[in-house]
Amino acid sequence: MELTKELECLIETAITAGEQVMKVYETDFEVCYKEDKSPVTLADERADRLITRLLAHHFPEYGILSEENVINQQTYGKRDCFIVDPIDGTREFVKRNGQFGVNIALSREQETVLGVIYIPTERTIYFATKGEGAYKAQVDESGTLRSVRTIRVSGRTKDLIVTMSHPYGGKSLKKLLADNERHIGGYHYIGSSIKGCLVASGEADVYYRYGHTNEWDTAAMQAIVEEAGGIVRQMDGSPLIYNRKNHLNDKGFYIVNRKENIWV
């Protein structure tokens, strides 16, 4: 799939947005809350405006669906749509633990075909294009990618590393993990879509998520995981689709390295 221009634009845009995010991160910023009680900061708003402006400039015919401006965006029905989470992990941003990223994906005919996740505190970027593999790189001070390498999921089916946000979870997740304890060798606790990147790079093996998310939470991550050889599905085994009328992922989802590790 020829998406070279789109990939170059998304990488540059994510890095530029990450620089703006870090300028706020290093200040005594104010935290506001949306109607759903989720936090939002000046960094979210600045990154959203910058990303939207750059994407619209380079690809004016594409739709743009961003978490911070979703109510004003009419993208349903467009073949191509960028799906944006300016800061995936705003709660982690507020905690100042560094576990957040700039997520940008491209959906084509409701399938995620390109994903970029930039973690500005680590200057680490993950990216993938459908059919072209998944990659991880470091970003130097000039914005140039260094130490670019292909990433691949692990082949493990025992002593698995489970990645999750916290050492606790809901009842459904606790039961799932307890029922499969014999397969588990350890846990990696981390925030945001970094969890999916860990599975994609073989540093973790499974990630199960019950509860609601939105399509901008999963689009970039799914593109990267699948190109690294992993599996991403809703909890009932159905595929995740994008740029739809209802942006809510209400079935939960799982990310696994191999089909043998599907526990639902």
**Average pLDDT for consecutive 10-residue bins of the chain (264 residues)?**
95 98 96 92 96 96 89 79 97 96 97 98 98 98 97 98 89 96 98 97 98 95 98 97 93 98 98
189, two tokens: 């606790």
- Dihedral angle, C-alpha 246, 104, 135, 224, nearest 10 °: 0
For residue 216, which of 239, 185, 237, 247 has the smallest C-alpha distance?
A: 247
How deeply is 128 buried, as exposed, middle or buried, from its count of CB atoms within 10 A (0-12, 13-18, 19+)? buried
Return the SS3 of 63.
strand
pLDDT, residue 73, reads 63
pTM of the prediction?
Answer: 0.97
> 160-261: same fold as 4-151?
no
Q: Tell me if the domain spanning 4-151 has CATH number 3.30.540.10.
A: yes
- The pair of structure tokens assigned to 85 is 């989470």
CATH topology of domain 160-261: D-Maltodextrin-Binding Protein; domain 2 (3.40.190)
Q: What is the pLDDT of residue 92?
A: 96
Domain extents for the chain? Answer: 4-151, 160-261
Residue 32 token pair: 């506001």
Closest CA to 263 of 199, 203, 198, 210: 210
**Residue 72 confidence (pLDDT):** 55
Smallest Cα–Cα separation from 119: which of 199, 195, 50? Answer: 195
